[in-house]
C-alpha cells in the first residue's frame, strides 16, 4: 500500500546543513565529572527527590518520583555518588531555575538490575505506569509524558512515528534511524499495541535516503502493519500537525489533540526509548545529541542526561569565532544563556553559532505587504496582519486573526524581505494576552475578595445588632420581672438605677434601628430572630472564607 500524501500550505526550504554531521555514527560521549539531573523535566511537573547527598546511586536508579498525572520518574544516568542538591538553569526558553540532583560518577557505569517487562502480561494501565516509572517522555518536542499520550487504548486509528527531522543542522534522529532502525520499529510496535492503533506510519523527509532505506529494510522483517513514508523535504514538515496533515490529510486545530482525530504522533527517539524500557528494562537515561555548527568536529553522541553542555562541547571543539550556542535547530531553537545547563530528554542538538554562519539580521524595514510571509506560513495565517496588530498593541484583533494558531515556526520571519522579526512580535503579543488574562483573573479575585468583605462586614453588623437586640430584650425582661428589686435598688441608689434605665433605653433604640436597616437591606422582613437565622444560610464564599 502506498500512502497518499497530502499537502500543507506554505513552508520553506532553508539550507539543510545536515551533511556536516549526518555521516558521523553515534559515538558515546564520555561521562562528565559531574552530572546535573534536574528534577523538573518539563514545565508541567517536577519530581519529588528520593535521594540524599552522600548516597550512592546506580545507573537507572530512581532519584525522583514523578508527581501528579503528568509526572514521570527521574533516574540517575550513571552510577556514582549524590554530592548535592542545587538549583540549576533549565534548557528552556523561560530560563527557569529548577532543583537538580548533582551526581559525581564513579566511572563504573554500573546498572541497576534490569529486567525485561512484558507489557502483554499486565493490564494496560500497568504498562503505562511502567513507562512513566521509566521516565519516558516525548523526545522530539515539548517532552510530554508518553503514558499520557497513549490515551485510553481506544479511538486511535493511526499511529505516526515522526522521523521527519525538518530543522536544518540536526541529524540525531537520522542517525538513530540509520543505526537502530530495528529498535525504533520495535518501540513503534509496542506503542502500536498500547495505543490500539490500526496502522503505523513513519514519516521521514526524503532528504534522508539512508534512513529511509534502513527503516524500510527493518520494516520488511516485521509482520506489523508499518509503513515507511518518504515525505517532501520542506520545513516544518516535522511539526506534529504538519506531519499528521501530510500523512493523513487531517488538520488538527490549535488547542485540539491528535487523539480527538484518531491520530497520535511520537518521535523516533521516543519509540527507541520505549523499546529499551520494555525489552531491556532500561529507564530513559541518555539520548542522542547532534553537536554541529561552527565546530571542528561535528558529530552525533549518545549523551548521559545531565551532562552539562559545556563539557559536551569540548568533544566538538568550537572554533574561536563562536559567539553563542543554540539548543535545537536554527528555526525554533533557543540561545543557551548558561553553558552549564544539562542535556535533557528533549535536547536534540547543540549548534555553535558564529556571525559568519548565523549573521545578525539586517535592520528592520517597514512591511511592504508583499505577502511572502503569508505564502510561507504553514498555519495559513497572514503574518503581516498579525504584525500590524501586534505593533499597534491591538492584541484583541491579533487574537481574532488567530494569533494563537501561530506555531512560532519562524517561516515568515525567514522569508521577510524587510527583515522584520515577526515571531518576536507574535511572542510579545501572546505574552501580552497572557499577562492580561492573568491580570483579569487577579482583578476577578480582588473583586470577589472585596465583595466577600462587604458581605462579611454586613453579616458582622447584623450579628452585632442581633446580639444587642437579644441583650435589650433580656434587660427589659429583667427590668419588668424584678421591678421590686429595682425599686429597692433604686431606693438604694436612685442615681445608678436611672443611669441603668437610660442605658437600656438607648441600647434598645440603637438595636431596633440597626436591625431595621439590616433587615431592610435584605428585604427579609424586620426582626432580630431573622437575622440570626440568616447567619446559617450557606454563602458561596463561605468555603474560602478565611479572611
Partner 1 sequence: MIHSPYIRKPASVQSVMLTVLLALLPGITAYVMQVAAVVVVNLLIATVTALAAEALILALRRRQIAPALSDLSAVVTAWLVVLCFPPILPWWVTVLGVLIAIVAVKHLYGGLGQNPFNPAMVAYCAMIVAFPSLMSQWPPAGQLDFQTQLDLVLGGARQLDAITGATALDAMRTGLRTSGASVESVLQQDGAFGAVGGRGWEWLALGYVAGGLFMLARRIITWHMPVAFIATLAVVSGIFWLAEPARFAPPLFHLASGGAMLAAFFIVTDPVSGATTPRGKLIFAAGIAVIAYLIRVFGAFPEGIAFAVLLMNLCVPLIDMKTQPAVFGHRGSRP
Q: Binding residues for partner 1, how many (CB under 8 A)?
A: 65
Distance in Å, CB of 257 to partner 1, minimum: 12
Site for partner 1 in 232-291 (CB under 8 A): 241, 245, 248-254, 256, 261
Residue 186 or 418: the one with the smaller Cβ distance to ligand SF4 is 418
Asked if 489 and 495 count as a contact pair (C-beta separation under 8 A), the reply is no
| Cα angle: 250, vertex 254, 257; to 5 degrees | 60
> Given candidates 190, 246, 416, 511, which one binds partner 1 under the rule CB under 8 A?
416
Q: Is 331 in the site for partner 1 (CB under 8 A)?
A: yes
Give CA–CA dist 493/87, Å, rounded: 78
Please name the residues in contact with 38: beta carbons below 8 A apart, sequence gap of 6 or more: 74, 88, 90, 98, 99, 100, 306, 342, 344
Residue 349, beta-bridge partner list: 290
> Given candidates 383, 468, 472, 518, which one binds ligand SF4 under the rule CB under 6 A?
383
Q: Is 389 in the site for ligand SF4 (CB under 6 A)?
A: no
Asked if 337 and 355 count as a contact pair (C-beta separation under 8 A), the reply is no
> Given candidates 57, 413, 511, 519, which one binds partner 1 under the rule CB under 8 A?
413
Determine how many CB atoms are found less than 10 A away from the CB of residue 226. Answer: 21
Residue 123 or 362: the one with the smaller Cβ distance to partner 1 is 362
Closest by alpha carbon to 91, among 303, 288, 338, 417?
338
Q: Which three cell numbers stand for residue 476?
A: 427589659
Give CA–CA dist 348/171, Å, rounded: 9
Q: Which three cell numbers stand for residue 453?
A: 468583605
Residue 503, class by beta-carbon neighbours within 10 Å (0-12 exposed, 13-18 middle, 19+ buried)?
exposed
Q: Is 332 in the site for ligand SF4 (CB under 6 A)?
A: no
Q: Is 335 in the site for partner 1 (CB under 8 A)?
A: yes
Q: Is 227 in the site for partner 1 (CB under 8 A)?
A: no
Give CA–CA dist 342/339, Å, rounded: 8
Q: Which three cell numbers stand for residue 184?
A: 525504533
252 binds, among ligand SF4, partner 1, none (CB under 5 to 8 A by kind): partner 1
62-66 sheet: strands from edge to edge: 47-49, 62-66, 74-75
> Given candidates 69, 107, 417, 540, which one binds partner 1 under the rule CB under 8 A?
417
241 binds, among ligand SF4, partner 1, none (CB under 5 to 8 A by kind): partner 1
Instruction: Give the containing element (helix H, strand E) for 199.
Output: strand 199-205
Distance in Å, CB of 332 to partner 1, minimum: 5
Q: Is 334 in the site for partner 1 (CB under 8 A)?
A: yes
Sign of CA dihedral 172, 177, 182, 186: positive
What is the Cβ-side half-sphere exposure of residue 153, based on CA atoms within 13 angstroms? 9
Site for ligand SF4 in 412-451 (CB under 6 A): 412, 415-418, 420, 422-423, 426
Residue 46 or 374: the one with the smaller Cβ distance to ligand SF4 is 374
Q: Is 407 in the site for ligand SF4 (CB under 6 A)?
A: yes
373 binds, among partner 1, ligand SF4, none (CB under 5 to 8 A by kind): ligand SF4
Distance in Å, CB of 9 to ligand SF4, minimum: 10
Q: Which three cell numbers stand for residue 464?
A: 452585632
> Given candidates 199, 319, 402, 471, which one binds partner 1 under the rule CB under 8 A?
402
Q: Which stretch binds partner 1 (CB under 8 A): 217-225, 367-375, 454-462, 493-501?
A: 367-375
387 binds, among partner 1, ligand SF4, none (CB under 5 to 8 A by kind): ligand SF4
362 binds, among ligand SF4, partner 1, none (CB under 5 to 8 A by kind): partner 1
Q: Is 187 in the site for ligand SF4 (CB under 6 A)?
A: no
Q: Is 12 in the site for partner 1 (CB under 8 A)?
A: yes
Distance in Å, CB of 413 to ligand SF4, minimum: 7
Q: Binding residues for ligand SF4, how many (CB under 6 A)?
A: 30
Residue 501 vs residues 42, 475, 484, 537: alpha-carbon distances, Å = 74, 9, 14, 36
Please name the residues in contact with 436: beta carbons below 8 A apart, sequence gap of 6 or more: 395
Determine how many CB atoms are found less than 10 A away from the CB of residue 255. Answer: 7
Distance in Å, CB of 12 to ligand SF4, minimum: 8
Q: Is 368 in the site for ligand SF4 (CB under 6 A)?
A: yes
Tell me the per-residue interface mask from 157 to 176 with ligand SF4, x by CB under 6 A, - otherwise: --------------------
130 binds, among partner 1, ligand SF4, none (CB under 5 to 8 A by kind): none
440, 442, 443, 444: CA torsion to nearest 10 = 80
202, 204, 206, 211: CA torsion to nearest 10 = -100
List residues near partner 1 by CB under 8 A.
8-9, 12, 14-15, 168, 241, 245, 248-254, 256, 261, 326, 328, 330-335, 353, 358, 360-363, 365-372, 374-375, 378-382, 384-385, 401-402, 405, 408, 410-411, 413-419, 421, 423-424, 427
- Please give the residue ranges that form the binding site for ligand SF4 (CB under 6 A): 367-373, 376-379, 381, 383-384, 387, 406-412, 415-418, 420, 422-423, 426
Amino acid at each position: 500500500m502506498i500512502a497518499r500524501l497530502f499537502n500543507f500550505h506554505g513552508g520553506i526550504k532553508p539550507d539543510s546543513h545536515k551533511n556536516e554531521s549526518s555521516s558521523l555514527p553515534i559515538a558515546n560521549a564520555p561521562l562528565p565529572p559531574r552530572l546535573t539531573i534536574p528534577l523538573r523535566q518539563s514545565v508541567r511537573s517536577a519530581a519529588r527527590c528520593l535521594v540524599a547527598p552522600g548516597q550512592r546511586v546506580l545507573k537507572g536508579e530512581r532519584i525522583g518520583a514523578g508527581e501528579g498525572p503528568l509526572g514521570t520518574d527521574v533516574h540517575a544516568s550513571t552510577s556514582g555518588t549524590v554530592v548535592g542538591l542545587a538549583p540549576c538553569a533549565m534548557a528552556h526558553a523561560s530560563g527557569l531555575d529548577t532543583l537538580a540532583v548533582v551526581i559525581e560518577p564513579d566511572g563504573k557505569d554500573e546498572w541497576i538490575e534490569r529486567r525485561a517487562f512484558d507489557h502483554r502480561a499486565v493490564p494496560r494501565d500497568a504498562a503505562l505506569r511502567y513507562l512513566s516509572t521509566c521516565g519516558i517522555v516525548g523526545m522530539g518536542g515539548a517532552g510530554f509524558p508518553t503514558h499520557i499520550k497513549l490515551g485510553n487504548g481506544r479511538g486511535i486509528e493511526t499511529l505516526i512515528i515522526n522521523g521527519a527531522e525538518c530543522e536544518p543542522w540536526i541529524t540525531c534522529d537520522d542517525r538513530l534511524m540509520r543505526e537502530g532502525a530495528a529498535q525504533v520499529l520495535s518501540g513503534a510496535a509496542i506503542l502500536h499495541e498500547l495505543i490500539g492503533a490500526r496502522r503505523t506510519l513513519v514519516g521521514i523527509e526524503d532528504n534522508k535516503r539512508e534512513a529511509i532505506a534502513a527503516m524500510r529494510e527493518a520494516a520488511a522483517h516485521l509482520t506489523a502493519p508499518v509503513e515507511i513514508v518518504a515525505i517532501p523535504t520542506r520545513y516544518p514538515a516535522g511539526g506534529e500537525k504538519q506531519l499528521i496533515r501530510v500523512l493523513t490529510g487531517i488538520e488538527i486545530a490549535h488547542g485540539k489533540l491528535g487523539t480527538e482525530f484518531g491520530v497520535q504522533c511520537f518521535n523516533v527517539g521516543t519509540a527507541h526509548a520505549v523499546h529499551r524500557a520494555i525489552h531491556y528494562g532500561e529507564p530513559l537515561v541518555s539520548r542522542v545529541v547532534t553537536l554541529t555548527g561552527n565546530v571542528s568536529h561535528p558529530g552525533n553522541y549518545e549523551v548521559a542526561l545531565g551532562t552539562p553542555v559545556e563539557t559536551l562541547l569540548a568533544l566538538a571543539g568550537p572554533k574561536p569565532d563562536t559567539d553563542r550556542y543554540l539548543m535545537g535547530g536554527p528555526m525554533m531553537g533557543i540561545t543557551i544563556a548558561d553553558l552549564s545547563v544539562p542535556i535533557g530528554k528533549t535536547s536534540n542538538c547543540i549548534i555553535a553559532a558564529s556571525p559568519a554562519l548565523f549573521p545578525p539580521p539586517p535592520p528592520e524595514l517597514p512591511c511592504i505587504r508583499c505577502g511572502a510571509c503569508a505564502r510561507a506560513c504553514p498555519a495559513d495565517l497572514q503574518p503581516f496582519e498579525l504584525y500590524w496588530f501586534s505593533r499597534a498593541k491591538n492584541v484583541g484583533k491579533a487574537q481574532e486573526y488567530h494569533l494563537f494558531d501561530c506555531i512560532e515556526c519562524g517561516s515568515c520571519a525567514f522569508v521577510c524581505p524587510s527583515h522584520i522579526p515577526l515571531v518576536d512580535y507574535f511572542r510579545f503579543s501572546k505574552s501580552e494576552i497572557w499577562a492580561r488574562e492573568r491580570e483579569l483573573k487577579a482583578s476577578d479575585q480582588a473583586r470577589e475578595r472585596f465583595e466577600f468583605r462587604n458581605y462579611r462586614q454586613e453579616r458582622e453588623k447584623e450579628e452585632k445588632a442581633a446580639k444587642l437586640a437579644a441583650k435589650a430584650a433580656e434587660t427589659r425582661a429583667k427590668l419588668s420581672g424584678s421591678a421590686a428589686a429595682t425599686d429597692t435598688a433604686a431606693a438604694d441608689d436612685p442615681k445608678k438605677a436611672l443611669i441603668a434605665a437610660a442605658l437600656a433605653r438607648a441600647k434598645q433604640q440603637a438595636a431596633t434601628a440597626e436591625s431595621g436597616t439590616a433587615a431592610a437591606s435584605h428585604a427579609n422582613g424586620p426582626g432580630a430572630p431573622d437575622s440570626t437565622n440568616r447567619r446559617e444560610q450557606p454563602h458561596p464564599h463561605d468555603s474560602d472564607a478565611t479572611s
